[in-house]
A and B are shown apart, each in its own frame.
Chain A
Amino acid sequence: MKPFTVHKGIAAPMDRANIDTDMIIPKQFLKSIKRSGFGPNLFDELRYLDEGQPDADNSGRPLNPDFVLNQPRYQGASVLLARENFGCGSSREHAPWALEDFGFRAIIAPSYADIFFNNSFKNGLLPIVLDDATVDRLFKAVAANEGYELTIDLAQQKVITPDGEEIPFEVDAFRKHCLLNGLDDIGLTLQDADDIRAYEQNRRQQAPWLFGA
């Protein structure tokens, strides 16, 4: 996993609540057995005017000019500004894979669906929760200022606006540690292998029917 320390990038606004995972990456692209290459199909049904197909060339497809990420001012955006319950729906990790592959490193929203939130951290994509009023203020600032860039300092847990305002955010200590260092948490869990074995031995005695089918 790519470490996340300090990131500065253009913010793009997705002004819509309950963005679901089918919207983020439609099901036909889930047929891939790889975990990369989903970026061109991020928000496929909103972004293009035709229906996308897996393993197809997307370069000649008609773009929806009204879609925010197609607008010239948001080219190269890497911070996504969103509304409540972002990422609701399925558990597909293809959603954060697509966002990350497209170039997003962080999302800012008032709330997220639980599974999506969890999946994002596993992929170097930082989902930041800020209150409704602050998110609303950022939406207005992004609309008013072309090329509006936000700096995200994970170590300091701050979002920094172009005029120097520092907005603090919360993040789990363990997730922060993994993200800052780009750590694979399977390796970390396996450091507790003895504890897992001890638990398992105990459980085998209490509930033998759960073992050895």
Chain B
Amino acid sequence: MAGKTLYDKLWEQHVVKERDDGTALIYIDRQLLHEVTSPQAFEGLRIAGRKPWRLDANLATPDHNVPTTSAERESGIAGIQDPVSRIQVKTLDENCDEFGITEFKMADKRQGIVHVVGPEQGATLPGMTVVCGDSHTATHGAFAALAHGIGTSEVEHVLATQCLIQRKMKNLLIRVDGELGAGITGKDVVLHIIGVIGTAGGNGTAMEFGGSAIRSLSMEARMTMCNMAIEAGARVGMVGFDDITSEYVKGRPYAPKGEQWEMALAAWKDLVSDDDAVFDKVVEIRAEDIKPQVTWGTSPEMVTTIDGTVPTLADAADEVQRSGFERAYQYMGLTPGQKITDIKLDRVFIGSCTNSRIEDLRAAADVAKGRKVAGSVKQALVVPGSGLVKAQAEAEGLDKVFIEAGFEWREPGCSMCLAMNADKLGSGEHCASTSNRNFEGRQGYGGRTHLVSPAMAAAAAIAGHFVDVREL
């Protein structure tokens, strides 16, 4: 019998009941909650007179709407200027209090972006099923967990039953072998992959990242990659368990301790795809082929290399892509054949659930150190992923590096990744952003997003246009 993939194993371990129609009831070990996709779920529980099935499986924190200036943060929820945002954050507090769910509230040092907070607390553990009403829940798969985003109806379903009705997906392996060049990060690897397989390339699959290049990556880099599996259409991104995983998890507040740690470790060692596992599809990528990536268009698959140019219509694969290119040129204000290094930036955003962890901030600070943000750049924001990331960065003096270079050092939250708070792009502005989506209007009405790694974003802030971080 053929071996099993990591996904096969995680799936089998969580089947409560198989149904005749090929779906199964799957048990959920952890649900993360935030203010945007949970209010209607709690309201649903109230209307039906239901209680959460298991309180300790849930952990909440507000992130999407929270302001990131210290002035607004100092007076707590009352300090949120936007009344609609204020109600949403307040509603999360009220719901968590009413139902008895642990929440890291806005003033808590542990507050931050759910996908940064979960792993940081050890609330995300290998072998778990993790869900959240947010598509970037794929992030947690970096821990050899089965993690994916769900809608609000399913948030309510998990609150009420601790289960989800699921159909098993197909197995997709993205194998990256070889050695990554200097200055190439997890962000560049995943953007390169999306460029190869396209934004729908992973639809209907659980996407595992494997190969020697992935094994050498830190947990932060693996989280960045799994985070963006959804931008390639895969709800689930995953990396097999190894020593790097256990090193990261060990000692975290929610991680097992003592005897249970040993027990867990023994169980987790099997959380890898077997050597003879059969995947429905395998995509092979050579690490040496990957250069720093920059998106030029309005879909993450519209990506090229720093030494590249905006593609021409002749580069489009078909009629559908051709019309997509035409719309993107117009929206982005770019011309076919234009050099990427000629794109001038109005704003720079370093943050988001993709790239706001300590390693990301260190990489950006390395570039910023002793340099100045270009005068033509209106704003360069650094938004740490959590209060604890912020504290760690400050302990290392990174905040001073950024401030001296002319960056703004902010409080934790989702911020300009999706501009639900006050941090947003003006119409027509170009932004070098370490976030995950370059959709039209994503970072602000009419805003133009270019996705890059933290080091590339910092370099672009200094130069005022895109530059190859390897040549600094």
Hey, which bits of chain A sit against chain B, CB under 8 A? 16-18, 20, 22-23, 26-28, 30-35, 45, 51, 54-55, 83-85, 88-93, 96, 111, 113-115, 118-119, 122-123, 172-174, 184-186, 189-190, 192-193, 195-196, 199-200, 203, 206-213
| A196 and B161 within 8 A (CB) | yes
- 1/0 per residue, CB under 8 A from A, across B193-215: the answer is 00000011001100000000000
Q: Does B21 lie within 8 Å of A172, measured CB to CB?
A: yes
- The closest CB in chain B to the CB of A36 belongs to B40
What 1/0 flags go to B43-86 for Cβ under 8 Å of A? 10000101001101000000011000000000000000010110
CB distance from B424 to the nearest CB of A (A): 10
- B125 / chain A contacts, CB cutoff of 8 Å: 209-210
A196 near B162 with CB under 8 A, answer: yes
B233 within 8 Å of A (CB atoms): yes
A17, A88, A212 — most chain B CB neighbours (10 Å): A88
A22 touches B36 (CB 8 A): no
Query: Contact residues of B with A, CB < 8 Å?
Result: 16-17, 19-23, 25, 27, 29, 36-37, 39-40, 43, 48, 50, 53-54, 56, 64-65, 82, 84-85, 87-88, 91, 125, 127-128, 133-135, 137, 148-154, 156-157, 160-163, 165, 167, 169, 199-200, 203-204, 233, 235, 254-256, 260-261, 263-264, 267, 299, 320-321, 323-324, 327, 418-420, 437, 439-442, 445
List 26 contacting pairs A-B, 8 Å CB cutoff, sorted by A.
A16-B324, A20-B299, A22-B440, A23-B439, A26-B441, A27-B442, A30-B36, A31-B88, A33-B40, A84-B320, A85-B200, A90-B134, A90-B135, A93-B151, A93-B152, A96-B151, A113-B233, A114-B203, A119-B153, A122-B151, A189-B25, A189-B165, A196-B161, A200-B54, A208-B263, A209-B125
Known: A18-B324, A122-B154, A199-B27. A186 touches B149 (CB 8 A): no
9 new A-B contacts, CB < 8 A, other than A18-B324, A51-B445, A111-B200, are A31-B84, A33-B91, A88-B200, A88-B233, A92-B36, A122-B151, A196-B163, A199-B27, A209-B256
| Contact between B267 and A207, CB atoms less than 8 A apart | yes
Minimum Cβ distance to chain B for residue A116 (Å): 8
Residue of A whose beta carbon sits closest to that of B134: A91
- Tell me which residues across on chain A come within 8 A of B441, comparing CB atoms: 22-23, 26, 45
Q: How far does the Cβ of B447 sit from chain A's closest Cβ, in whole Å?
A: 11
Docked pose: A122 CA to B164 CA in angstroms: 13
Q: Known contacts A115-B151, A172-B167, A203-B27; is A45 also within 8 Å of B440 by CB?
A: yes
A196 partner residues in chain B, CB cutoff 8 A: 16, 25, 27, 53, 161-163
- The docked-state distance in angstroms from the alpha carbon of A5 to that of B434 is 46
User: A15 to B56, alpha carbons, bound, how many Å?
Assistant: 46
Q: Please, which residues of chain B bring their CB within 8 A of the CB of A185?
A: 157, 165
Q: Is the CB of B87 within 8 A of A33?
A: yes
In angstroms, Cα B229 to Cα A115, docked, is 13
Cβ–Cβ contact A113 & B203, under 8 A: yes
Return chain B residues, CB-CB under 8 Å to A200: 27, 54, 162
The answer to whether A45 and B445 have CB atoms under 8 Å apart is yes
Chain A residue with Cβ nearest B92: A33
> Across the interface, do A212 and B162 meet the contact criterion of CB distance under 8 Å?
no
**Cross-interface CB contact of A189 among B65, B84, B157, B263, cutoff 8 Å:** B157
* Beta-carbon contact of B437 and A119 below 8 Å: no
A195 touching B16 by the CB < 8 A rule? yes
